Amino acid sequence: MTEMMIALLLFLVMYVCLLTMKNEWSHYIVLLFALLFVRFGLVSINAAYLCVPWAYLGILLGAYGLEAMVFDSKMLECLVSTCLKRVSEQRVMVLLCLLAGCCSALFDTVLVVMLALPIVVEVCKRSDTDPMAYTVLLVVVCNLFGACTMLGDPTSLLLASNLGMQFRHFFYMQGRIGIGVIVVLSVLSLLYGYSVIHKEKMEVDVQRVTYTSVVPSVLFVCLLAMLCVCSNVVGAYVSISLYVISLLFEAFQKKNVNCVFERLKHLQVDVLLFVVGITIVMQGLVETGVVQAMANACMEVAGVNVILMYGLIVCVSFVISGFVDTIPFVATFVPVVMQIANSMEVSPYLFVFGCMFASTLGGNLTPVGARSNMVAITTLQKEGYTVKTKEFVKLAIPFTMVAFVVGTVLIYWIWN
């Protein structure tokens, strides 16, 4: 059996395991198969080490720690409650989705949905309104905003590491607006259209929340400012250093060192381990020629026509990500897309941005397309609402298609 066949077989088995087993085991699965790729000589130890985006992981390590402390300080709840008290009853849901989306650009999308959805449910109960439509709108906006920066969603990290992008490149790069700005424009068009069509008055009585500490939020803002001006390597050191400062301040404030160990124990490292494993696996697929074979198969369908290839990439990404987890799909398909761009001798940004955007949107089509969707449905069920897959899809399709059309057209117009 050739190395290509072994690599392809291992990859398919890994993907089946990711689809059938619990999400909590995903990072263990990819790490196991990454070790198998090294063990069978499909990728060397040196190549496995060099392919891992250590600087990006360092940035996320400190950022995830600071994000958890910002959440625990109730600063985001305070911001949301303050803004909702100052808005008209007709615009409350649009503003809530926009605020949650902005938070998703910098914080974990699942946590943001868990924060914002109870407010949506409470407002709908007071107004005697079915919360299903607003829930779908919320997760669509949050999932999309997660692609704005490398801190929002793991797929953004995979995009940045493959293209060598820095934090500021999500907004402006090579004299053009970046994928982050395109995402924002797509969301704004969606929310504007929704606000024009739906003008229900919602009864708002959100309790004012008081934050417990401003230090984590200040340090997080400092991190964002530094990431805008410094390289990823420097950003990794800054991110980890600011997290350590925040930990030391909390220990001093509480006069208890044990809180530091509790923070470290609950640090979100599963996503980082997943990125390490999937990067090594994809490096093995590149070295054994599997990625090139996938790229050749795509080129046989669309040829070397840029428009046809772009359409094929966004459509495949949009449809498949509606039924499988977006993160492993993007990790798999982005190297293929880059190989296609290399074979066609065109810039990879058009195809990669299209793949990233369509995959993020496709995850909104079904309840299993994104983890935030499943969290939202579980929350509604706990509140006593019956959620049917057919109803979710029926509501998600128009929201998703509006953003899909606007975003894909903008990406092609700007980056072709």
Enumerate the H helices of 198-269 as residue ranges.
Answer: 215-229, 232-254, 258-265
Residue 1: the pLDDT is 63
Question: Which residues are CB-neighbours of 405 under 8 A, at least 6 positions away?
Answer: none
* C-alpha dist (Å) from residue 335 to 53, 180, 254, 273: 14, 20, 47, 19
- Max distance between CA atoms of the chain, in angstroms, equals 67
Nearest to 45 by CA among 253, 384, 284: 284
Question: By C-alpha distance, which of 357, 347, 361 is closest to 415?
Answer: 347
Residue type, 278: I
The whole-angstrom separation of Cα 179 and Cα 237 is 26
The pLDDT of residue 371: 76
Which residue is it, tokens 């990819």?
30
**CA separation for the pair 119, 94 (Å, rounded):** 13
Using alpha carbons only, how large is the chain's radius of gyration in Å? 21
Contact 415, 349 (CB under 8 A): yes
Structure tokens that stand for 260 in this block: 């530091």
Gap between the Cα atoms of 338 and 212, Å rounded: 46
pLDDT at residue 158, rounded to an integer: 82
**pLDDT for the residue 245:** 92
Determine the residue type at 254.
Answer: K
What's the predicted TM-score (pTM) here?
0.85
Name residues of the chain where pLDDT drops below 70. Answer: 1, 83-91, 127, 196-209, 368
Cα–Cα distance for residue pair 394/77, rounded to 1 Å:
31
Residue recorded with tokens 């607006």: 177
List Cβ neighbours of 1 (8 Å cut-off, separation of 6 or more): none
For helices 290-302 and 306-320, give the axis angle rounded to 10 degrees: 120
| Cβ count near 221 (within 10 Å) | 13
Q: How many CB atoms lie within 10 A of CB 391?
A: 15
